[in-house]
Amino acid sequence: MTDYYEILGVSRTATEDEIKKAYRHKSRQYHPDIAGPEFEEKFKEVNSAYEVLSDPEKRRMYDAGVDPNNPQASYSQGFSGMGDMGDIFSQFFGGAFGGGAGASPEPRTQPGRDTLDSVTIDLKTAVFGGNEHFTIDTLGVCQHCGGTGSEDKSQPVTCPDCNGQGYVQKVVRTMLGQMMTSAPCPTCEGHGTIIKNPCTVCHGHGRVRTKRDITVTIPAGITDNARLRLAHQGEVGECGGPAGDLYLDIRVRPDKQFTREGDNLHCWIRVPMGWAVLGHSIDIETFDGKETVEVPAGCQPEQTVTLKDLGVTKLNEKGERGDLIVHINVEIPTKLNDKERDLMEQFSSMHDSDDQKVDCNSKPVTSAKKGFFSKLKEAFN
């Protein structure tokens, strides 16, 4: 007795899904139109095996030692009695082996696609959030027909060529016998209905390319290259179909005054040497308005002053913000008159000595390890 399980390459305990999957693979592998005419007999064996194992009653008979196939029947019966083979072949060969009767027309109303765009905001908007207005070029509802696709806004009517099926069938003769083919109806393009008087603007699609103004709410604390989703703001679907989503990539424009690092803002100020020595109060403009920076007496180059809660708003945290870090650059004069030079030399002689130990390091020396006036003296020398 022929081993149908071996032909399909499955075990005797295989499930219906496993048998169907194996059959799909084998039928495609040995189909004469794909593998060549020399595999026609192998193709017949695969179909005979599937005919038995896909039928629960025939499979029980076969497992009991009785082959349900008549040895004299060969393959003259074609595809009759083989269950859903037409549906299986239609998955591989586009309906060339039948299966059209189970198809359904394509809905004329289709959902729109998602779209991707970008918008550039300034750093202040990223800090506090706000509304941004921009224009997108997308597919919108045709105003001429109101999205119906019809010039007179009438409803579509049943296609006379396919009688509303959305497909047409015909019989073709192949090496395996007569086959029923199905294909989308060319008159209604598979919809099953036609628009008798198509809109002269959108040509029956119910949508046209247009520019649309969009307002998006930018959340406070958003980062550069973040992506926002705006539901139902993408392309409008055909013939009144729902719109897809709009995805926005956020670009943060570089700021001339501040840079961002996480939730903190950084800025740099230059102060005269005297202010650094004696200390001084400086007013600077921030995103929150004018703020006072207290330069401490004896301030060193690259020293920082932190202004609390003047940084970026933290995402998902109500009201909390990062800090504003002010970096102080001390401006050392490069030209002195005689009197200024004498005073500086006197001052230097009181604080620095020629035998002062100088360390040689592989990394920059921090201000805490080297006095300000030592740096000043080196600059003059």
The answer on whether 199 is annotated among ligand-binding residues is yes
Angle between helices 372-380 and 338-351 (to 10 degrees): 130
| Residue 299 labeled ligand binder | no
Asked if residue 360 belongs to a known ligand binding site, the reply is: no
The response to whether 267 counts as a known ligand-binding position is no
Q: Are 210 and 139 in contact (CB under 8 A)?
A: yes
Distance of CA 319 to the CA centre of its chain: 30
CA atoms within 13 A on the CB side of 283: 2
DSSP-derived 3-state class of residue 359: coil
Beta bridge partners of 227: 249
* Three-class DSSP category at 82: coil
Q: Is 162 annotated as a binding residue?
A: yes
- Residues 6+ positions from 261 with CB-CB distance below 8 Å: none
Residue 312 near residue 221 (C-beta atoms within 8 A)? yes
Reading phi first (left if > 0) and then psi (alpha if -120 to 50, else beta), residue 192 is in left
Determine the Cα–Cα distance for residues 149 and 155; give it in Å rounded to an integer.
Answer: 9
CA distances from 355 to 83, 343, 352 (A): 103, 21, 9
Contacts by residues 313-321 (CB-CB < 8 Å, ≥ 24 positions apart): 313/127, 313/128, 313/129, 313/220, 313/221, 313/263, 314/221, 314/263, 315/219, 315/220, 315/221, 315/222, 321/263
The whole-angstrom separation of Cα 269 and Cα 284 is: 9
Question: Rounded distance, CA 93 to CA 19, Å?
Answer: 20
Q: How far apart are CA 70 and CA 362, in angstroms?
A: 92
Q: How far is CA 333 from CA 174, 282, 337, 341, in A?
A: 97, 20, 11, 11
Binding residues are 142, 145, 159, 162, 185, 188, 199, 202
Binding residues for Zn(2+) are 142, 145, 159, 162, 185, 188, 199, 202
